[in-house]
């Protein structure tokens, strides 16, 4: 039971982490540097991806490396673990973390992107969060299905075991009657 719940929680977490990772990458792809200004074209598809969990809310913030907010929510919890981008060839490594925001449990992803123009370069940080209602529901559903399987397996196994014991002990019943006679 413990293992089933662990598996269900891990699978739900991984699924929804991939969902917010995809949305964060879509947002990152639509941030550019043009004439020394950061241009942000928020893709509707990123938020449609997050809307696949209709009971959840999404929060985002795009900031410069110095912490100045470009767009989004200005008071999102930040992770201290975001690895700053040091050059254009750096791989974007996302950092996941959980925090409470506006009284709700939220799973966040944070990543950095270096924007390069001919004579300018800037780093932006993207923080995207989604409440954890849908992932909790998915974990509960998966855990419930595994529990149903385990209970069914236990009942069938116990029934077969009882039938086997009855079948094995049946000749002893005849032997008992013979001895009594």
Query: HEC profile for 19-34?
Result: HHHHHHHHHHHCEEEE
The pLDDT, as a whole number, for residue 7 is: 87
Q: How far apart are CA 171 and CA 58, in angstroms?
A: 68
- Indicate the angle between helix axes 2-29 and 133-180, nearest 10 degrees: 160
Model-wide pTM > 0.85: no
The pLDDT, as a whole number, for residue 90 is: 57
The pLDDT, as a whole number, for residue 27 is: 93
Region label for 50, one of left (φ > 0), alpha (ψ between -120 and 50) or beta (otherwise) = alpha
| Under 8 Å between Cβ of 126 and 111 | yes
The pLDDT, as a whole number, for residue 175 is: 84
The pLDDT, as a whole number, for residue 85 is: 52
Q: Which residues of the chain have pLDDT under 70?
A: 80-92
């Amino acid at each position: 039971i413990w293992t089933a719940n662990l598996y269900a929680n891990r699978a739900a977490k991984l699924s929804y982490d991939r969902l917010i990772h995809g949305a964060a990458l879509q947002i990152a792809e639509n941030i550019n540097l043009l004439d020394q200004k950061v241009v942000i074209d928020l893709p509707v598809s990123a938020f449609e991806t997050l809307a696949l969990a209709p009971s959840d809310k999404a929060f985002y913030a795009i900031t410069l490396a110095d912490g100045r907010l470009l767009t989004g929510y200005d008071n999102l919890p930040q992770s201290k673990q975001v690895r700053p981008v040091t050059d254009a060839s750096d791989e974007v490594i996302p950092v996941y973390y959980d925090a409470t925001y506006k009284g709700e449990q939220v799973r966040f992803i944070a990543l950095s992107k270096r924007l390069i123009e001919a004579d300018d370069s800037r780093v932006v940080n993207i923080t995207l969060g989604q409440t954890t209602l849908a992932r909790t529901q998915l974990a509960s559903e998966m855990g419930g299905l595994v529990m149903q399987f385990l209970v069914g397996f236990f009942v069938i196994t116990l029934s077969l075991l009882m039938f086997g014991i009855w079948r094995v002990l049946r000749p002893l019943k005849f032997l008992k009657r013979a001895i009594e006679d």
